[in-house]
A and B are shown apart, each in its own frame.
Chain A
């Protein structure tokens, strides 16, 4: 193999598994260390800069970082990254003093944002301090998008949402709430330099042709519409027996909300096997904990109506069969159909995009699924003045993805407005700093603790089920937060190897607790992977290969299960190994332009 180019910022970035997996590339270990040092305000600001909504995300993030976390490869569970973020938010001091403060000198440019969800709010936050006049439109009465209308208060208290949305609105954003944009053409006719579409994926899927759908309409609700109605307090009760159709997170929010509005016998009924449901494992657990059975392998067949009123539903029993390619098919078991009683049914079987307000003659191309054609790097549509982001760009995802899109779209809008080529994306900001303090001393806490993941305490069920707004999760207290923070392996403290200093004494190879390092003859990657001290079978993790050493061998480090314990560097007599903290920050609009 060729020697690894550690000058390429993406090499070490990839070693920081959590940060790499985070769509917004939040410097996770950086803020976890700050939490361990009780620097909550600073930890919050590291988050705020990257993901804009630390308090919200610390409760609701889909947390793609956690399955990626290295710790999950050396013991049972990853670091509770998401809930640590909440520790920062819960314990922070005055953060506002660290945020940009208006009024900002206008730069003469004006932009419109359609939808006030996380994507558009991120664009607003990144561009307002640069002097843009920002107009934010949403049909709802307040900002937040789905974070307000969909995510129930028992998972995300309104006060937390308001606080973080207001940090942005306070930057001098022109708010146009209760304002549905019914024509993009009209908007474009105004003097906006750019329009950002962050209108989400607001259409809930229905079962329009199923027997009984029309007759039972009064008691059959589209999940996301129903949740919005609950959030905005248009609905405050539901029947005693409730069926929730679907296996995603929306279904989980629907069933748990139903339990709080009077549903005593709430069931989730899903087509797929339990293990393959789309909902996150923790959402399923929480639902089950609230006495909600999840009945899998049942395909809805009909709504049963009696005397013009919904009585329940029938289902066909199926089981999953997989073909050679692992593709799943749900095959009827042949058993008799099953009937479940219901006073109300919530249909939570998916969401779709819908752009009835975008005319098709504006130079914005749509594909055969009626989705706009959007550049995945710049987020520009085929009309250079119109940008898309969040769920509106590539279909329903999550808050953190919407934020990541928002940052990139803001960069594009800024570069475009300043006459720069938005295809030339700005390089990330990086920094590499030795952590050596003394012979066995590092400026990071290199000891690897064996503590298993700590569970977040929950409020008592009798309280939470009777009050829709009572938050279920209580968050880590400070001592537990510290202990959980200590589980982080500091993957950003990189093992940096300088071959010219190596005397090939093997000390690092011998000491490494997880057998990461091998000195061997160079080969191509496949052979090298097979011939290391322990075979490197995790192909998603890179091999760090040195240049040829005096004995004609190379140093090969499999990054897979490195604990970043620093022992290799401590045992190295010549400091050929050093532990260096790598900071990687995605460049934001503020620093995107070369000339402005």
Chain B
């Protein structure tokens, strides 16, 4: 019996600006099934946090319940973590974020955790534009409870036991765009070249950033007839450009045909090159983005990449004008200004 990760790392591992290697962003050894897409997304999150020179103690990871929601154990061991109740990650994230706006909030959820039991929380956290990254590791099933169809399973999709799903699926990406999310992207666990830059941008985005990542469940939903299997997804993202979203620094942009690349200035001054997935589509225009997603899904294509971005978004703190300083840095006299202040307030309301 082994299953123990050796302590040794590659002596040539690159260091980031903080002097850390990827090792400082790792988590415990995963207990998910071998080959689970979720593990690949975890590796992408580790890479993105490393790339962004994030101080691990300045990040909080939050999740609900499910195989997907277990993953925060498997990345960023040196960060804060809260594994909450099924479908309740957004409310815990909201509370934490309001108390301390200085941390980077990283939420992980599943399609069950988000599209079924957590749907109410999901739509409201979008509405409030909480400054966080929200990843759904979407496998079209309830992996943890042995693979029942979830609300994102496509109608007609067959699960491992041969059962065909009768119900229309909920498309989380278009829902997020419709509800006013300021950053919406879609990707595939098996395509880190696309996924990692998307996670990076989502973490830098100063508002609610949603990424729906198709993440095959090798154990319960990787069979023929499933629309969330490795094979199906690979076939159906072909042609829509898997490298549609890349940071300026990489010279890959030159690979795209002229006229199909659009530069987007980000809030932090960095430049993004966006490969336009569909003609007549503007990722800064909500209606156009929804059109692009719907058009693709009508053709049974899965559109991946950055679908929509609102660069001038204002997050919840701005909207409700909270104090700039995290609550834990404010003195008791500020947080609890005392009876006199209360009396003044009450007087003002009379």
Interface string of B27-44 (1 = CB under 8 A from A): 001100111110110110
Q: Let me know if B320 is at the binding interface, CB within 8 A.
A: no
Q: Are A513 and B9 CB-contacts (below 8 A) given A440-B3, A505-B218, A506-B43?
A: yes
Q: Which residue on chain A has the smallest CB distance to residue B40?
A: A506
Q: Let me know if B57 is at the binding interface, CB within 8 A.
A: no
Interface string of A494-530 (1 = CB under 8 A from B): 0000000001111101110111100000000000000
3 closest A-B pairs by CB:
A573-B35, A448-B6, A510-B43
In the complex, the answer to whether A441 meets B1 with C-beta atoms within 8 Å is: yes
Residues of B within 8 A of A513 (CB): 5-9
Q: Let me know if A32 is at the binding interface, CB within 8 A.
A: no
Q: Let me know if B190 is at the binding interface, CB within 8 A.
A: yes
How far, in Å, is B288 (CB) from chain A's closest CB? 30
Q: Which residue on chain B has the smallest CB distance to residue A561?
A: B10
Residues of A within 8 A of B249 (CB): none
Contact of B40 among A73, A505, A515 (CB under 8 A): A505
In the complex, the answer to whether B40 meets A510 with C-beta atoms within 8 Å is: yes
In the complex, the answer to whether B34 meets A507 with C-beta atoms within 8 Å is: yes
Q: Let me know if B95 is at the binding interface, CB within 8 A.
A: no
Residues of A within 8 A of B42 (CB): 510
In the complex, the answer to whether A448 meets B7 with C-beta atoms within 8 Å is: yes
Q: Let me know if A572 is at the binding interface, CB within 8 A.
A: yes
Can you list 21 A-B pairs, Cβ within 8 angstroms, ordered by A? Answer: A73-B11, A440-B2, A450-B8, A505-B35, A505-B189, A506-B39, A506-B43, A506-B189, A511-B29, A511-B30, A513-B7, A513-B8, A513-B9, A515-B10, A534-B12, A537-B12, A551-B190, A551-B234, A567-B5, A570-B2, A573-B35
Which of A506, A535, A566 has the largest count of B CB atoms less than 10 A from its CB? A506
Chain B 261-290 residues near chain A, CB threshold 8 A:
none
Interface string of A435-454 (1 = CB under 8 A from B): 00000111000111010000
Residues of B within 8 A of A507 (CB): 34-36, 39-40
Q: Which residue on chain B has the smallest CB distance to residue A564?
A: B6
Give complex CA distance A513, B11 in Å.
Answer: 11
Residues of B within 8 A of A534 (CB): 10, 12-14
Q: How large is the interface on A (under 10, 10 to 19, 20 to 34, 35 or more residues)?
A: 35 or more
Give complex CA distance A73, B189 in Å.
Answer: 32
Give complex CA distance A535, B10 in Å.
Answer: 10
Residues of A within 8 A of B10 (CB): 514-516, 534, 561
In the complex, the answer to whether A450 meets B7 with C-beta atoms within 8 Å is: yes
Contact of B13 among A509, A510, A515, A567 (CB under 8 A): A515
In the complex, the answer to whether B9 meets A504 with C-beta atoms within 8 Å is: no
Give complex CA distance A348, B35 in Å.
Answer: 62
Chain A positions within 8 Å of B, measured between CB atoms, are 73-75, 440-442, 446-448, 450, 503-507, 509-511, 513-516, 534-535, 537, 550-551, 561, 563, 565-567, 570-574
Q: Which residue on chain A has the smallest CB distance to residue B191?
A: A551
Give complex CA distance A534, B21 in Å.
Answer: 11
How far, in Å, is A463 (CB) from chain B's closest CB? 40
Interface residues of chain B: helix, strand, loop or mixed (majority):
loop
Q: Let me know if B200 is at the binding interface, CB within 8 A.
A: no
Q: Let me know if B90 is at the binding interface, CB within 8 A.
A: no
Q: Are A505 and B8 CB-contacts (below 8 A) given A566-B2, A571-B35, A573-B218?
A: no
In the complex, the answer to whether B35 meets A503 with C-beta atoms within 8 Å is: yes
How far, in Å, is B174 (CB) from chain A's closest CB? 27
Residues of A within 8 A of B189 (CB): 505-506
| Given A513-B9, A534-B10, A570-B3, 12 further pairs, Cβ under 8 A | A440-B1, A503-B230, A505-B218, A507-B35, A509-B43, A514-B10, A515-B9, A534-B12, A566-B2, A567-B6, A571-B35, A574-B35
Give complex CA distance A219, B9 in Å.
Answer: 57
Q: Are A572 and B34 CB-contacts (below 8 A) given A441-B2, A446-B2?
A: yes
In the complex, the answer to whether A447 meets B4 with C-beta atoms within 8 Å is: yes
How far, in Å, is B252 (CB) from chain A's closest CB? 11
In the complex, the answer to whether B34 meets A570 with C-beta atoms within 8 Å is: yes
In the complex, the number of residue pairs spanning A and B with C-beta atoms less than 8 Å apart equals 105
Q: Which residue on chain B has the smallest CB distance to residue A551?
A: B234
In the complex, the answer to whether A572 meets B39 with C-beta atoms within 8 Å is: no
Residues of B within 8 A of A570 (CB): 2-3, 34
How far, in Å, is B276 (CB) from chain A's closest CB? 23
Q: Let me know if B158 is at the binding interface, CB within 8 A.
A: no
Residues of B within 8 A of A503 (CB): 35, 218, 222, 230-231
Q: Let me know if B192 is at the binding interface, CB within 8 A.
A: yes
Q: Let me know if B87 is at the binding interface, CB within 8 A.
A: no
Interface string of B214-231 (1 = CB under 8 A from A): 001010001000000011
Residues of A within 8 A of B234 (CB): 504, 550-551
How far, in Å, is B333 (CB) from chain A's closest CB? 49
How far, in Å, is A556 (CB) from chain B's closest CB? 14
Give complex CA distance A49, B132 in Å.
Answer: 65
Q: Which residue on chain B has the smallest CB distance to residue A576?
A: B35
Residues of B within 8 A of A551 (CB): 190, 234
How far, in Å, is A532 (CB) from chain B's closest CB? 10
Residues of B within 8 A of A510 (CB): 39-40, 42-43
Residues of A within 8 A of B9 (CB): 513-515
How far, in Å, is B251 (CB) from chain A's closest CB? 13
Chain B 185-235 residues near chain A, CB threshold 8 A:
189-190, 192, 216, 218, 222, 230-231, 234
Residues of B within 8 A of A516 (CB): 10
How far, in Å, is A8 (CB) from chain B's closest CB? 26
Contact of A505 among B6, B7, B30, B190 (CB under 8 A): B190
How far, in Å, is B162 (CB) from chain A's closest CB? 20
How far, in Å, is B169 (CB) from chain A's closest CB? 23
Residues of A within 8 A of B14 (CB): 534
Give complex CA distance A131, B9 in Å.
Answer: 53
Give complex CA distance A441, B4 in Å.
Answer: 11
Residues of B within 8 A of A571 (CB): 34-35, 39
Residues of B within 8 A of A563 (CB): 6, 8
Contact of A448 among B3, B8, B22, B35 (CB under 8 A): B8
Contact of B6 among A509, A550, A565 (CB under 8 A): A565
Residues of A within 8 A of B5 (CB): 511, 513, 565, 567
In the complex, the answer to whether A75 meets B8 with C-beta atoms within 8 Å is: yes
Q: Which residue on chain B has the smallest CB distance to residue A538?
A: B12
Give complex CA distance A507, B43 in Å.
Answer: 9
Residues of B within 8 A of A504 (CB): 190, 230, 234
How far, in Å, is A553 (CB) from chain B's closest CB? 10
Give complex CA distance A75, B9 in Å.
Answer: 10
Q: Which residue on chain A has the smallest CB distance to residue B5?
A: A513
Residues of A within 8 A of B1 (CB): 440-441
Residues of B within 8 A of A75 (CB): 8
Residues of A within 8 A of B8 (CB): 74-75, 448, 450, 513-514, 561, 563
Q: Which residue on chain A has the smallest CB distance to residue B229?
A: A503
Q: Which residue on chain B has the smallest CB distance to residue A572?
A: B34
In the complex, the answer to whether B2 meets A506 with C-beta atoms within 8 Å is: no
Give complex CA distance A571, B74 in Å.
Answer: 14
How far, in Å, is B74 (CB) from chain A's closest CB? 10
Residues of A within 8 A of B35 (CB): 503, 505, 507, 571-574
How far, in Å, is A572 (CB) from chain B's closest CB? 6
Give complex CA distance A132, B8 in Å.
Answer: 52
Give complex CA distance A447, B36 in Å.
Answer: 23
Residues of B within 8 A of A572 (CB): 34-35
Give complex CA distance A382, B30 in Å.
Answer: 64
